[in-house]
Amino acid sequence: LRFKWVGNGCNRTLKWECEDEHYGSWDSSEILTMRKRRKIFVNDILVTSSVVLTGNNWQKCKDLFTALKVCTPGTTTFHKNQNLFVSPEIRILWDEMKAIIFSILMNMRTFVFLVMAEVTLLATVLNFVPMS
């Protein structure tokens, strides 16, 4: 039985072949999708999104990962994953949050307007009520 570990970003692939020429492979990460006949692994996207969402700098994180001997996607892969997968999702989420915030503020504006109208009405009524 012959086997070989192959590294690709955050993924490790174990390829094996027996003496009868049976062969197979195992990936340490789930496959998210295929792009231009290449596998996009979930772990690469998780690392990319965690760096982006925490507001960290990729080079600093990569240096830390290298010091800890943690596998990471390359810089080019990081930027491609950021542009293709992470940024569009952040944009979608931000648009949804803006709509929610806007509707809350519009409801508050309506509420404030109604309260001001009631106060004005109350003041008008009190002006016409004789004080004893």
For the stretch 66-111, pLDDT in tens is: 899 888 899 998 999 999 999 999 899 989 998 888 888 777 777 7
| Range with the poorest average pLDDT among 26-40, 42-56, 118-132 | 118-132
Distances (CA, A) of 111 to 69, 97, 102, 108, 125: 57, 21, 14, 5, 21
Domain ranges of the chain: 2-126
pTM of the model: 0.64
CB < 8 Å & 24+ apart, contacts of 45-53: 45/81, 45/85, 45/86, 46/10, 47/10, 47/72, 47/73, 47/78, 48/73, 48/78, 48/81, 48/82, 48/85, 48/86, 49/85, 49/86, 49/89, 51/78, 52/82, 52/86, 52/87, 52/90, 53/86, 53/90
**Where does the pLDDT of residue 128 fall: very low under 50, low under 70, confident under 90, or very high at 90 and above?**
low
Give the count of beta carbons closer than 10 Å to the beta carbon of residue 50. 12
Which residues are 122's β-sheet partners?
none
User: What number is the average pLDDT over the span 119-130?
Assistant: 64
**Where does the pLDDT of residue 6 fall: very low under 50, low under 70, confident under 90, or very high at 90 and above?**
confident
